[in-house]
C-alpha cells in the first residue's frame, strides 16, 4: 500500500470514529485538526516518542516549555 493511500485511510478512520461516537465537533479542536493535517503523529507511542509529542503539543497549543528529567 502506498504511503499517501495509507494516510488517507487513517484520516478516513479518524473521521469515521468521531461520526460513530457522535463527536464530530472534536474535528474542530486543535489536536484533531493537527492530526488530520498531519502536523502531529496519529499515535503517541511510548518513551521518547511520547516525550516529543508532548513537547510539540505544549509548545504549539499551550505556548509553554516542559522540563524532561
Contact 58, 64 (CB under 8 A): yes
pTM: 0.48
Q: What is the pLDDT of residues 5-57, one digit of tens each?
A: 656 777 888 888 889 999 989 889 888 888 888 887 766 555 666 677 777 77
Distance CA 34, CA 27 (A): 9
Contact 44, 50 (CB under 8 A): yes
Q: What is the pLDDT of residues 57-66, one digit of tens each?
A: 777 777 666 6
Say yes or no to pLDDT of 69 above 60.
Answer: no
Q: Which three cell numbers mark 24?
A: 464530530
Better pLDDT: 20 or 2: 20
Amino acid at each position: 500500500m502506498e504511503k499517501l493511500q495509507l494516510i488517507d485511510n487513517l484520516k478516513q478512520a479518524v473521521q469515521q470514529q468521531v461520526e460513530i461516537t457522535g463527536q464530530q465537533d472534536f474535528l474542530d479542536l486543535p489536536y484533531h485538526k493537527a492530526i488530520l493535517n498531519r502536523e502531529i503523529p496519529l499515535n503517541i507511542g511510548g518513551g521518547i516518542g511520547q516525550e516529543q509529542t508532548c513537547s510539540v503539543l505544549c509548545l504549539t497549543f499551550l505556548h509553554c516549555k516542559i522540563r524532561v528529567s
